[in-house]
Structures are given as structure tokens and as C-alpha cells.
Amino acid sequence: MKPITNGLIRLASGRYQGGDHSITGPILKAIAGPDAKLTGGQPAALIHFDAHTDTMHHLPHWLGAERSAAHWGSYVATEGNVDPRKSIQLGLRGHTRTLNWKKTSAELGYGVIDIDEFRELGVQKTVAAIRQRVGDTPAYITFDLDCLDPSVAPAVANLEPG
């Protein structure tokens, strides 16, 4: 992890693109860790578009992995690289392994606008909610393709209709 983080610190121009959520932790550490120049060592806000919370820290990791795509939202908050009180998760639709899938995000302090609430609020009110939550905190935006309905993104690994 340290070589990846050090490489990202050298590249820290403030813009990153591509990859899956296995790279999110090191990127956030590089841009918002204690030694980060971009945020002055302060945690970043997270704007997270996804079908899943990715905060399932109470569930075991797959095949003994130390970190996984189902957990990264937890460890970026608990390690202090993200301020969940300034962060928001959008488009969430559920999780196949638990019925209380939003509970862990709430416990960590994340704001959540699930897909039903998004449809009720509409785009303008959702954007206003994002702005209100994030404020002027430097933000990292991440978009998981499973946020899109499988009818338009059928090849994603974890399909969630809706």
C-alpha cells in the first residue's frame, strides 16, 4: 500500500480517472491524508455514486482479502481520509447479503440519497443537497458503473436493477 500511496502523492495534480474501488483508498490517502498538500492534511468530502454503500465492514471479506470493494467506504472514513459528515452516497439500491444495508453508512456518518429518494427529489434538489452537505470541503467524486441500471450497463460485476 505504501508504494502505491507514495506514487499517487507524486502524481497529486488533483485529478484521477479510471480503475475500480481498490485504488480509492490510496488515492484518498494521497490527496487527503495527514501529509497531503491538496487538502492541507484535512479529510476530503466524498461524493459517491453507487448501487451499494461499500461500507459493509461488519461482513467478512471475500476469500480472506484484507480490503475489498464491499468495505472501502468504511476504511477511508475510519482512517480519517474522508469526513463522512461532509460526504454523501447517491443512487444506492441495496445489498444482496443484508437487509439493513444503509445502517453502516449512517453509523459512519455518511449522508445517503438512495434511488427512491433521488427520484422523489429530482436532479436540482439532489444537487442542492450535495452542495449543502459538502460545502467548500475539497471533494473526491467516485462513480461505480453499477449505479446505472443493468439495461444500460449490463457488464458490471454486481448488477442491481433499478
Domain span including residue 115: 41-147
Q: For position 77, which CATH number holds?
A: 3.40.800.10
Residue 14 has a pLDDT of 55
pLDDT of residue 15: 59
Residue 40 burial by CB count (10 A; 0-12/13-18/19+): exposed, middle or buried? exposed
Does 67 reside within a domain? Answer: yes
On the question of pLDDT at 157 being above 70, the answer is no
pLDDT at 7 over 60: no
Cα Dmax for the chain: 44
Confidence band, pLDDT 50/70/90 cuts, at residue 97: low
Kindly state whether residue 69 falls inside one of the protein's structural domains: yes
Collect all residues with Cβ–Cβ distance below 8 Å to 158 and sequence separation of at least 6: 51, 52, 146
Number of domains in the chain: 1
**Could you give the CA distance from residue 40 to residue 33 in angstroms, rounded to a whole number?**
9
Q: Tell me if 158 is assigned to some domain.
A: no
Number of DSSP helices (H) and strands (E) in the chain, helices first: 5, 4
Q: Considering the entire predicted model, what is its pTM?
A: 0.83
User: Is residue 4 a part of any domain in this protein?
Assistant: no
List, in sequence order, every beta strand (DSSP E) within 17-149. 45-49, 88-92, 111-114, 139-143
Average pLDDT, the chain: 83
- Please state which of the ranges 30-44, 63-77, 130-144 shows the lowest mean pLDDT: 63-77
86 within domain boundaries: yes
